[in-house]
Amino acid sequence: MKLKWQIGIRLKFLVIFVSSLLFALISITVLQSLFGSRLNMLTGGSDAFEQKYSFYYLLLFFILMTLFFYWFSYRMMRRIQHINNCVNEIGKGNWNVQLQTSAKDEIGNLSRQINQMVHNLRQMREKEQAAELLKTEMIANISHDLRTPITSLAGYIELIKDGGKEQEKYIHIATRKCDELKKLIQDLLEYCTLSYREYHVNKEKVEIRELLQQVIIDFVPQLEQANMSFQVESPSTPVLVDVDIKLVVRMLQNMIRNSIAYGAKGRKLDFGLQTDSSFIHLSITNYGEAIPEKDLPHIFERFYRGEKSRSADTGGKGMGLAISKNIAKMHGGDIKVTSSHQATVFIIQIPFRFS
């Protein structure tokens, strides 16, 4: 930020210096007019006085000039001292310091920059604290979710070692538990990759209606097993978007899988596709039980499940929706949800183009 020279600190110091010089000269003149006649009488004339005491004149001039300079610059020096004290406080870890920024000069500009720096540092510290809390919670959740299938797996392995008629059943259950562990670890790795690393989005132009139909077809066996029907409503004209196909397919799979798991009682899924000038709006509607109002703000958080047992029979581990939300945001979009006793509607918003 460039300041006008009229209000710059250099001009202020120049004015202070010149003012100090002028006031010192005026003071010498006043003193000489007050006491000059008497001193001339004592020393035998003004010329003799000036020759004899010129050094003291000069010394008095510099003393007066220094005093005036100190007086005129006191306010500015106090502002600099205030900045120095605040910076020392910041160095001690006190990030609640706020400098005065009313002046429109270099000192005021410096104060504003320090305030901005402290604000940024405070935000960074808050983010680090939030990340540390997130890491702690994630470790706790991972420990919980890994401990349960591992404990079951160890128990069934012991039963298999003992033999018996139900050995084949135990092998099947142990295999299923291994698959659960593999799926959980894959979800964790994918979530961390999308959330905490610089993931490069490979955008391609794709016809979103065809992509949606291809993903739905893959779920036809699961829909039939759950005795669910589905219906797709979309525009008659092609809808082209620039997206990372792999990520969007993953997002749609997660959303459909979640709707089947929690909407099976409704026996139906409705898919809708609408567009406006900037976004596509893809809705997935299930008619199962409503999501409790207290759970709605949290369902996109990792490891959050409205159904608290965390059983594999009633859903996943609470990662699917969090991954889907991240994918939508990576494309410059979002996912919203509404839920009532009639229906639960997830609306995926994705821009036609993204940077």
Which tokens in the block code for residue 208? 């979103």
pLDDT band at 355 (very low <50, low <70, confident <90, very high): very low
Q: Output the six-digit token pair for 48.
A: 């003799």
What are the backbone angles phi and psi of residue 338, rounded to the nearest 5°?
-130, 145
228-240: pLDDT as tens digits:
999 999 888 888 8
pLDDT band at 335 (very low <50, low <70, confident <90, very high): very high
The tokens describing 266, both together, are 């409704």
Give residues with Cβ within 8 angstroms of 251, minimum separation 6. 323, 324, 327, 328, 348
Mean pLDDT of 342-353: 88
pTM of the model: 0.53
- DSSP label at residue 219: T
Q: Give the pLDDT score at 345.
A: 93
Q: What is the pLDDT of residue 283?
A: 93
| Tens of pLDDT, residues 69-128 | 888 877 777 777 777 888 887 777 777 777 776 667 777 777 888 888 888 888 888 888
Question: Over 70: is that where the pLDDT of 62 sits?
Answer: yes
Mean pLDDT for 176-193 is: 70
Q: Which residue(s) pair with 285 in the sheet?
A: 270, 345
Per cent of the chain over pLDDT 70 is 73
State the DSSP string of 311-323. -GGG--SS-HHHH
| Domains of the chain: residue spans and CATH | 5-94 (no CATH), 134-196 (1.10.287.130), 204-351 (3.30.565.10)
More confident residue, 335 or 105: 335
